[in-house]
Amino acid sequence: MITVHYLENSRAQRIIWLLEELGLDYDLKYYERDPQTLLAPESLKAVHPLGKSPVVTAGDVTVAESGAIIEYLIETYGQGRLVPTTPENQRQYHYWLHYAEGSLMPWLVMKLVFNRIPKSPDMPFFLRPVAKVIMDRVQTQFLDPQLSTHLDFIEANLQSQDWFAGDFSAADIQMSFPLEAASNRVDLAAYPQIQAFMKRFQNRPAYQRAISKGGDLEPLD
């Protein structure tokens, strides 16, 4: 039996969505974030030394990292589903599967960190205005232009197709989390194709089943 070690409000939502798309049975072991730090509990380190989520276990197999988990599940249980069949779409599939965490998410994580630093309870109150000015300047001059470049790139790729690699695939599942995170940290009004993509995947029955089992996804801001 597949067990998904599921940290609330996290990347793990993609994994149960994939399992729902594949129609596979699985157990869901739920972990709550620390209410102060928002970090995963120490108990996750008993599953994987890094104590991160998602992690999937199946018998004596333990797999961490969203992309690696998706590849493992598709290769082991997919029976050819949710993977493109043409060479060009396969190249796009692998690209977006790795782009999501390798290129896009680091900028979104930095955006989150820079948003939260001035609000930290550990920040002396008299330093908060100064910290906010510095963080805002870094975002305006560095982070935001980088994010705009990435979002422009994604928007352009969705101009001529509904999904990232031809038909709906696991690459779209992988891309869902960073774009939902972006919607909470960046104004997406200028990106109608990204918004339409998000509506399409959020309307999929398997996505809705995943939300009903794992809880609403509310990316941190």
- pLDDT value of residue 131: 58
Which helix (H) or strand (E) covers residue 28, if one does?
A: strand 26-31
Round to whole Å and give the CA distance between 81 and 85. Answer: 10
Superfamily of domain 2-82: Glutaredoxin (3.40.30.10)
- pLDDT value of residue 11: 95
Q: How confident is the model at residue 104 (pLDDT cuts 50, 70, 90)?
A: very high
- Angstrom distances, CA of residue 59 to CA of 1, 2, 7, 51, 121: 7, 8, 20, 19, 42
Phi, psi of 53 (to 5 degrees): -130, 145
- pLDDT value of residue 54: 97
Mean pLDDT, the chain, as a whole number? 92
- pLDDT value of residue 124: 63
Round to whole Å and give the CA distance between 135 and 109. Answer: 14
**Integer Rg of the chain from CA:** 18
Q: In the chain, which residues fall in CATH 1.20.1050.10? A: 87-204
Strands of the sheet containing 55-58, edge to edge, are 26-31, 2-7, 55-58, 61-64
For the cut 90, the answer to whether the pLDDT of residue 114 exceeds it is: no
CATH code of the domain made up of 87-204: 1.20.1050.10
pLDDT in tens, 35-47: 888 889 999 999 9
pLDDT in tens, 149-159: 999 999 999 99
Least confident of 137-141, 196-200, 208-212: 137-141
Q: In the chain, which residues fall in CATH 3.40.30.10? A: 2-82
- pLDDT value of residue 77: 98
What is the average pLDDT across 105-122?
79
Q: How confident is the model at residue 217 (pLDDT cuts 50, 70, 90)?
A: confident
For the cut 70, the answer to whether the pLDDT of residue 21 exceeds it is: yes
